[in-house]
Structure 1
Amino acid sequence: MIRTFCAAVLVTACAMSASAPTSQPVSTPGGAGCAPATAPPPQSPPPTSVNTLRQAYFCVLDNYYSGPAMDSRALLKSAMAAYTQDLIRRGADRPGLRMPALTGNRDTDWAAFAEALGDGDPAALRAAITGMVAGLQDNHARSIRPTPPPEGGPVGIGIVGVSAEQGPRFDPAARPPLFITRVLPGSPAAKADVRPGDIMVKVNGVPTVIGDTVNQGIVDLFASDDPVRLTLKRPTTGRTRTVEIKQGPITRQPPAVTSKTLPGGALYVRLPGFYEGAADQVIAKLQGKPEAVVLDLRGNGGGSPREVTRLLGAFAHGKVTSYFCPLKGDCVPNRTDDSVPLLGSRLIVLTDRACASACDDFSAAVKGNGLGTLVGTRTAGAVSGPGKGYLLDDGSVLILPGVRHLGPSREIIDTIGVPVDHYAPMTALDLATGRDPGVAKALTLL
């Protein structure tokens, strides 16, 4: 995935946290545990240490959804695997470094693990924290190390959308070809005449498709600051060319709701994310109470569950939209915001595999409550549960879900997604020629 795109998705997909009930962190042996991240991290935090890893370990056990019931040995195994792999990659493997015998007691196992690490290698310890959280296999669990914005503003190549998106990662079921869906105006990619719809044949000489499967390995090819060499095929002409794109200044506009009137009088509204205030922006566009609304959520990476329930309140009252479920105890229902006046408009929602997190949530509520028709492709299914941030002593932040998300009928949406009522995928040729099969299908339904 293109790095500028991944960064944007990471922010939105992990932001579904506003109204989630979460457990309070508890103190851990050997000092204070992690603390809720209520303020920016310190400007000059100390390097990652064994104590940082200890904080992360107990933070997961105390605050993650299934942490209290987890086998702590699994966490330490993931941490040691990532730690040693980082050492090996840098040619710094240590003779005698091995996993100690573990018993399943989280305190004594940590003591044995810390003794095996000794002073620890800061870079490998950072990798261990990342690997430990990745071992949870949870699409809303993250280890983030905030970095200050570069002087002079953000830089990148400017490709911020590709067809294989599934929330914050590549879709393992994505069908080739792999093509570009969005390019920032004025970016290095735009100046190189890279356009939406261009098919990515190779990245740095590596094929983007192996057989009939998108090559997951190309993600790593965008991880450095080096120029990226793309072999592109333009679907309108069949022409193939290779361009080398260097990073340069890019300009990201704040997300905004846009709208237009479609033939027949329906109102088309595009909502790029469920960011703070997004629901009211959409509702403002609908003040004329149009007979039909085509709400475009394609590429919507998620956001706040409060925005979801507020926007749903414009289309229905008294409905359960989803449930947040703790490991033990009763699930908490989320409901439509009935303070929002009902519009009485017919609703068609456009979705795709990049519709993730709060977007999954909204789509499931629409389908489960019969509030409208879904057109496009199945949503991402990246909605494990809303996450909360916890600050570690090196300035990094763990995002950990404390509850699990279920749909309005208590069905699991995570990893599965919400199926559409009418299949209308976007193709490379559609993008290149300005056609929109989702909107076209919506017009036939209206």
Structure 2
Amino acid sequence: MNTLRQAYFCVLANYYSGPVMDSKALLKSAFAAYTQNLMRRGADRADLRLPALTGNHDTDWAAFAKVLGAGDPAALRAAITGMVAGLHDNHARSVRPAPPQDGGPTGTGIVGASAQQGSQLDPAARPPLFITQVLPGSPAAKAGIRAGDIIVKVNGVPAFIGDTVNQGLLDAFASGTVRLTLKRPTTGRNRVVELREGPIRRQPPAVTSKKLADGVVYVRLPGFYEGAADQVIAKLGGKPEAVVLDLRGNGGGSPREVTRLLGAFAHGKVTSYFCPLKGDCVPNRTDDSVPLLGSRLVVLTDRGCASACEDFSAAVKDNGLGTLIGTRTAGAVSGPSEGYLLDDGSVLLLPRVRHLGPAREIIDTIGVPVDHHAPMTALDLATGRDPGVAKALTLL
């Protein structure tokens, strides 16, 4: 119970709108998740009702805790998750440390799909749903599953209900065994594959590059992790005439890496704003200690480009630093999170500020639109074509 109390007061003290938050809504989300957990386990209590709440943070907690008593441990953990989920903030979450795994990590090896929007499934995704990345040597790779394979059904359930993606797919892939009906786009043939979790090997994120044409260098940046900006600059090997920077599937990372990499393409520019609940917004600016490359810039984005990736993309678009090709970004950039350790070893991640683009526009839940629409298709992946790169070369 003390951990739930910690989480409740932590949100009120540290979340962006916590100081003015209605404690009734916060505790309602926690209580709903608590009772739902009990019901799923057949352990509901006849006397369990949400008490009358007043909006006073302290008295509401006292009434809430009195009803729960000692509390059910599993349901209390669910209450913390539900309370944070009730904030409806894509950068707020409760994280529990993963138990150590004997023999290393396990999974199916399918680590990318076309309907992804950041870490979730995109409600605006259109059929078909296809696999975008398979880890080498994984159970999926050994079963002959390839990027571009279309997922027709998961455990016998269609991937799309009409034109709406089935959000239950995430739970299916999280289970130990999953049965997939797949269609190979190059042949049109269907087959059923039953995948069981097995050992997987995840390589550390790394910047890769290649020469596309005379004076044009392609660089793929999988995340804005520590040191990523300098790795990109090193891969460019001097001052190329043009850079195609591939941010598709880039889930974000450090805002500092964003401003540092932008500093290679412009100086003296505002890249975004971080806004507290009260007071003035703080501008973020290009890192002008980075030498300018003087290169033309094309950025490839998709719905997997989230958080810091959207911060970078919006700065490029709003400041006229380059051209965006692909599809609109994820719209998952509420604000950078800070971690708060609870007494059970779990961590609350909560944004203290809100993110705005360089023009003070809201990007969260909306995303950054591209200048040229060039989505990747299943057949493109299966045959090695890249419409984003092809479009970039026509522009450069």
TM band (smaller chain): over 0.9
Which residue is equivalent to 2:301? 351
1:68 match: secondary structure: helix
Match of 1:377 in 2: 327
1:293-329 Cα deviation digits (max 9, x unpaired): 0000000000000000000000000000000000000
Distance in 2 of aligned mates of 1:109 and 1:82: 17
Question: 2:242 aligned with 1:288, yes or no?
Answer: no
Instruction: Name the counterpart of 1:416.
Output: 366
Tell me what 1:364 maps to: 314
1:274 alignment partner in structure 2: 224
2:328 is matched by which residue type in structure 1?
A: R
1:257 aligns with 2:207: yes
Give 1:193 shift: 0.3
The count of corresponding residues between Structure 1 and Structure 2 is: 396
Q: Which amino acid aligns with 2:293?
A: L
Structure 2 counterpart of 1:78? 29
Instruction: Kindly indicate whether residue 124 of structure 2 is the aligned counterpart of residue 145 of structure 1.
Output: no
Over 3 Å off, 4+ runs: none
**C-alpha distance after superposition, 1:328-366 (max 9, x if no partner):** 001111000000000000000000000000000000000
SS in 2 for 1:216: coil
Residue 206 (structure 1) aligned to one of 135, 145, 157: 157
Contiguous gaps of at least 5 residues in structure 1: 1-49
Question: What is the aligned counterpart of 2:2 among 51, 54, 60?
Answer: 51
Per chain length, whose mean CA-contact separation is higher, i.e. which structure has more relative contact order (CA < 8 Å, sep 6+)? Answer: 1
Select the residue among 341, 360, 376 that pairs with 1:391.
341
- SS where residue 334 of structure 1 aligns? strand
Would the aligned equivalents of 1:183 and 1:194 in 2 still touch at CA under 8 Å?
A: yes
Corresponding position of 2:283: 333
Deviates most, 213-222 or 366-375: 213-222
The one-letter code matched in structure 2 to 1:298 is R
**2:262 paired residue number:** 312
Distance 2:301 2:341 in 1: 34
Cα distance in 2 for partners of 1:359, 1:214 equals: 24
Aligned partner of 2:116 in structure 1 is 165
**For 1:427 and 1:420, how far apart are their aligned partners in 2?**
17
The whole-number CA distance in structure 2 between the counterparts of 1:168 and 1:180 is 15
Amino acid at match of 2:211: T
The residue aligned with 2:50 is 99
| Partner deviation per Cα, 1:20-79 (whole Å, 9 max, x = no partner) | xxxxxxxxxxxxxxxxxxxxxxxxxxxxxx111100000000000000011010000000
Q: Name the amino acid aligned to 1:150.
A: Q
Q: Indicate the residue corresponding to 2:143 in structure 1.
A: 192
Letter in 2 for 1:309: T
Deviations 1:88-114 (A, max 9, x none): 000000111000000110100000000
3-state DSSP of counterpart to 1:359: helix
Using the TM superposition, give the Cα deviation of residue 287 of structure 1 relative to its aligned residue in structure 2, in angstroms: 3.2
Letter in 2 for 1:367: K
User: Using the alignment, how far apart are the partners of 1:224 and 1:379 within structure 2?
Assistant: 28
Structure 2: 5+ residue stretches without partners = none
Compute the RMSD of aligned alpha carbons. Answer: 0.7
What CA distance in whole angstroms lies between the structure 1 residues aligned with 2:308 and 2:291? 22
Shift in Å at residue 218 of structure 1? 1.9
- Give the counterpart letter for 2:75 in structure 1: A
The whole-number CA distance in structure 1 between the counterparts of 2:174 and 2:238 is 47
Structure 1 partner of 2:274: 324
Q: Distance in 2 between matches of 1:287 and 1:178?
A: 37
Query: Aligned pair 1:429/2:385, yes or no?
Result: no
Which residue of the partner structure matches residue 228 of structure 1?
Answer: 178
Conserved? CA contact 1:177–1:214, under 8 Å: no
* Aligned equivalents of 1:300, 1:220: Cα separation in 2: 22
**TM-score normalised by structure 1 residue count:** 0.88
Deviates more, 1:264-273 or 1:419-428: 264-273
| Shift, 1:223, TM fit | 2.9
Q: Secondary structure at the match of 2:168?
A: helix
Amino acid at match of 2:209: S
Q: 1:404 — aligned with what?
A: 354
2:170 aligned residue (202, 219, 232): 219
AA paired with 2:238?
Answer: G
Percent identity among equivalent residues? 85
Structure 1 residue 254: deviation in Å? 0.6
Q: 1:261 aligns to what SS in structure 2?
A: strand
Work out the CA distance in 2 between the residues paired with 1:221 and 1:96. Answer: 34
Alignment partner, residue 239 of structure 1:
189
What do residues 199-218 of structure 1 show as CA deviations (whole Å, max 9, x unaligned)? 00111111101111111122
- Tell me which amino acid in the other structure corresponds to 1:190: A
Secondary structure at 1:262's aligned position in 2? Answer: strand
The letter of the residue matching 1:265 is: G
Amino acid in structure 2 at the alignment position of 1:218: L
Instruction: Name the CA distance, whole Å, in 2 between partners of 1:221 and 1:252.
Output: 21
Q: Deviations over 1:134-174 (max 9, x none)?
A: 00000000100011331111100000000001111000000
Q: How does 1:25-64 map to 2 (within 5 A)?
A: 50-64=1-15
Question: Normalising by structure 2, what TM-score?
Answer: 0.99
Q: 1:109 aligns with which of 54, 57, 60?
A: 60
Give the Cα separation in 1 of the matches to 2:57 and 2:175.
37
Aligned residue in 2 for 1:12:
none
